[in-house]
A and B are shown apart, each in its own frame.
Chain A
Amino acid sequence: MTFTALLTKELRLRLRRERFVWLIIIYLLVMGLLGFGFLQRANVFSGGYQGYLLSQIGAQLYALLSFIQLFLIVFITPAFTATAINGEKERQTFDLLLCSKLSAFSLLAGKLIAGLVNVLLLIAAAIPLFSLVFFFGGVSPFQVLNTLVIFIITAIVIGTFGLFCSTLIHRPTASTAVAYTFCAFWLFAYPVISILTLGGSIPANSRWYIWIQWLNAWNPISALNSVVSSVQSGASNFYLFRVHLAPWIAFTLVSLMVAIILFLLSIVFVKPDPVGRFLPWFRDLGKKSEQS
């Protein structure tokens, strides 16, 4: 009940703001204009939508829209969660939440879900634009589903990281800056490293190679590229957790692990006196284990 009350309040506050309407409008305009520009170029270079190129145009348009959507999600999500907790502190409403029956889990889950609902609304608003692709073909329903999973997982990771920052960092501007820095690192660390190492110059059995492999597995661009790329091959699978995994599955698993860890850390730090709060719990646990 406490969770529902918080979620309802958050959604009311967020969706009532005029800036959210403008955000949807700008979001769709950016995607629509870039998609339209691509179609214009495709029209010029292919000399009209020749039948044998249609599926190729569809796949390329889908890839373009997907990458734009990914970048927009990365750009927008921190704004929804990176000030969730410290914003309450700044508004001096946090004490009032502490005085209630709201648990740390409900507080954070409510804030996270409210932030993610905003992102999901943006993704949903872009569906009509994406459906243009089906005029051309070249994209399978499985690809659409995988892409959607990558979008949602990306939003969850950034959302939980933003939330984590907002629990640890006192100033909203600072937490937002840290969240955006993380996003930039997350997106571009692997591409930059792979360019620097020029692929294959690091031996496959070295420790660095394993780290880079993990970084690649956790990179949303790599995951999305593997899904939208017209060349699908099992060769690009990752060998993680002692099994061969498709990039999008590896990305999903690693991301969920990271998100869960960040969420748990946020639970620890969101309320005052993190050590004192959990001491009785650990004592009880110790007593139970002694009794057993």
Chain B
Amino acid sequence: MINIQHIYKRYRSVHALEDFSLEIPLGAIFGLIGPNGAGKTTLLRILGALIPPTSGQVWFGDEEVTQSPTMIQRKVGYMPDFFGVYSDLTSEEYLEFYAGIHGISRRKSTKVVSDLLELVDLTAKRNALVETLSRGMQQRLCLARALIHDPDVLLLDEPASGLDPRARVEFRELLLTLQSMGKTIVISSHILLELAEMCSDIAIIRAGQLVMAGNVEQVTHSLGGGNQIEIRVLERATDAKQLLKEMPEIRNILDDNDVSELIQAEFNGDNQALHRILAELIAHDIPVISFAPRRAVERLEEVYMNITEGASVL
């Protein structure tokens, strides 16, 4: 468990983090979401023992970050938002260099580098100069670099920014593989859907303060963003609304007074519940044109936009 307790970080007059407390469970893919300037990078740099907090404590199990920064840095693999590559080195040389400065022997590093290149699917590019790799490949190479010393915790700052959809999917698959290997992964992003797709838990940060943290579904529900359903009918919208109100799966009808053919409702339950709702409508001869459930995860973006409205400093 990574335990962040009441940390403050000030850069002269700027308060980057204020009384920030959070628990990150081991083995999770934990997303830090917030607009630009919310304090995500500062938090990751504190977690990586790269900068000390102004006050407060961060515990990795029994070890406090400021007391044993070197020990923490060995447990942590950090990937900054900027790739930070040496363009005149080949992929293999790049990883060998980082293996060397992490104290991995030359003989061992050859195997480690080969394994990591295979893991990130860059074996074919081992002798290619880093500058010739695509952005997605460079991103994967940086991830391999962060893994070079086999850290328990990975801190990834905006890892998927600028990646095309395919590269993003590949990157997500890679993170899931790493999670299955027992790594704890902390990812920051200001693109919420990017995180919602891959994270088991999230924390929303706004202006250096924690707004909400927990399981993705829990957070969405807590912030008023439960599962929704959009039903469009050809006619008899009022009958349809009445019918829906009587169903136990339906929590609330949004804009109940609206007489249009588009009905929006909040619902509880899984796909079985959705099936029952649809079957009930059809059984009562309601002419349904479209039936579109929107899961909480898909609505997260909407909730997030409401919370962080006007909070971006960049």
Chain B residues contacting A13 (CB-CB under 8 Å) are 86, 88-89
- A residues 80-137 near B (Cβ < 8 Å) are 91-93, 95-102
Are the CB atoms of A99 and B84 closer together than 8 Å? no
- Asked whether any CB of chain A lies closer than 8 Å to the CB of B313, the reply is no
Are the CB atoms of A9 and B93 closer together than 8 Å? yes
A93-B86, A276-B52 are known contacts. Are A5 and B101 too (CB-CB below 8 A)? yes
Are the CB atoms of B52 and A96 closer together than 8 Å? no
A2-B103, A12-B89 are known contacts. Are A98 and B73 too (CB-CB below 8 A)? yes
| Least CB distance, A203 to chain B, in whole angstroms | 51
Q: Which of B5-13, B23-31, B43-51, B302-310 contacts A (4 or more CB under 8 A)?
A: B43-51
| Least CB distance, A282 to chain B, in whole angstroms | 16
- Asked whether any CB of chain B lies closer than 8 Å to the CB of A6, the reply is yes
A5-B97, A97-B101 are known contacts. Are A272 and B88 too (CB-CB below 8 A)? no
Which secondary structure dominates chain A's binding surface?
A: helix
- B residues 33-48 near A (Cβ < 8 Å) are 45, 48
Are the CB atoms of B102 and A100 closer together than 8 Å? yes
| Least CB distance, B58 to chain A, in whole angstroms | 15
- Asked whether any CB of chain B lies closer than 8 Å to the CB of A273, the reply is yes
- B residues 54-70 near A (Cβ < 8 Å) are none
Which one of B80, B89, B105 contacts A95 once the chains associate, using CB atoms below 8 Å?
A: B80
- Asked whether any CB of chain B lies closer than 8 Å to the CB of A4, the reply is yes
Chain A residues contacting B99 (CB-CB under 8 Å) are 5
- Asked whether any CB of chain B lies closer than 8 Å to the CB of A17, the reply is yes
- Asked whether any CB of chain A lies closer than 8 Å to the CB of B162, the reply is no
Who on chain A is nearest to B86 by CB? A13
- Asked whether any CB of chain A lies closer than 8 Å to the CB of B100, the reply is yes
- Asked whether any CB of chain B lies closer than 8 Å to the CB of A46, the reply is no
- Asked whether any CB of chain A lies closer than 8 Å to the CB of B78, the reply is yes
Instruction: Provide the bound-state CA to CA distance between A273 and B65, in Å.
Output: 14
A95-B45, A272-B51 are known contacts. Are A4 and B100 too (CB-CB below 8 A)? yes
Chain B residues contacting A96 (CB-CB under 8 Å) are 78, 80, 84, 98, 145
Chain B residues contacting A16 (CB-CB under 8 Å) are 88
- A residues 1-54 near B (Cβ < 8 Å) are 1-2, 4-6, 8-9, 12-13, 16-17
Are the CB atoms of B89 and A101 closer together than 8 Å? no
Chain B residues contacting A92 (CB-CB under 8 Å) are 80, 82-84
Give how many A-B residue pairs fall within 8 Å (CB-CB). 75
Who on chain B is nearest to A101 by CB? B103
Instruction: Provide the bound-state CA to CA distance between A92 and B86, in Å.
Output: 10
Chain B residues contacting A17 (CB-CB under 8 Å) are 88
Instruction: Provide the bound-state CA to CA distance between A28 and B83, in Å.
Output: 38
Instruction: Provide the bound-state CA to CA distance between A276 and B101, in Å.
Output: 23
A12-B89, A13-B88, A17-B88 are known contacts. Are A95 and B78 too (CB-CB below 8 A)? yes
Are the CB atoms of A6 and B80 closer together than 8 Å? no
Who on chain A is nearest to B48 by CB? A99
| Least CB distance, A270 to chain B, in whole angstroms | 14
- Asked whether any CB of chain A lies closer than 8 Å to the CB of B116, the reply is no
| Least CB distance, B237 to chain A, in whole angstroms | 56
Chain A residues contacting B45 (CB-CB under 8 Å) are 95
Which one of A6, A91, A98 contacts B100 once the chains associate, using CB atoms below 8 Å?
A: A6
| Least CB distance, A276 to chain B, in whole angstroms | 7
Are the CB atoms of B101 and A102 closer together than 8 Å? yes
Are the CB atoms of B88 and A100 closer together than 8 Å? no
Are the CB atoms of B50 and A98 closer together than 8 Å? yes
B145-159 interface mask toward A, CB cutoff 8 Å, 1 = contact, 0 = none? 100010000000000
- Asked whether any CB of chain A lies closer than 8 Å to the CB of B240, the reply is no
- Asked whether any CB of chain A lies closer than 8 Å to the CB of B185, the reply is no
- Asked whether any CB of chain A lies closer than 8 Å to the CB of B201, the reply is no
A residues within 8 Å of B by Cβ? 1-2, 4-6, 8-9, 12-13, 16-17, 91-93, 95-102, 272-273, 276
Q: Which 8 A-B pairs have the closest CB atoms?
A: A5-B100, A100-B101, A92-B82, A93-B84, A9-B97, A92-B84, A101-B103, A102-B101
Ordered by A's residue number, 21 sampled pairs between the chains whose C-beta atoms are within 8 Å are A1-B103, A1-B105, A4-B100, A5-B97, A9-B97, A12-B88, A13-B88, A17-B88, A92-B80, A92-B82, A95-B48, A95-B84, A96-B78, A96-B84, A96-B145, A98-B73, A99-B78, A100-B73, A100-B149, A101-B101, A272-B50
B residues within 8 Å of A by Cβ? 45, 48, 50-52, 73-74, 76-78, 80, 82-86, 88-89, 93, 96-103, 105-106, 145, 149
Known: A6-B97, A95-B45, A273-B52. 13 other contacts (CB 8 A): A2-B101, A2-B102, A5-B97, A9-B97, A13-B89, A91-B86, A92-B84, A95-B48, A95-B50, A95-B84, A96-B80, A100-B101, A272-B50
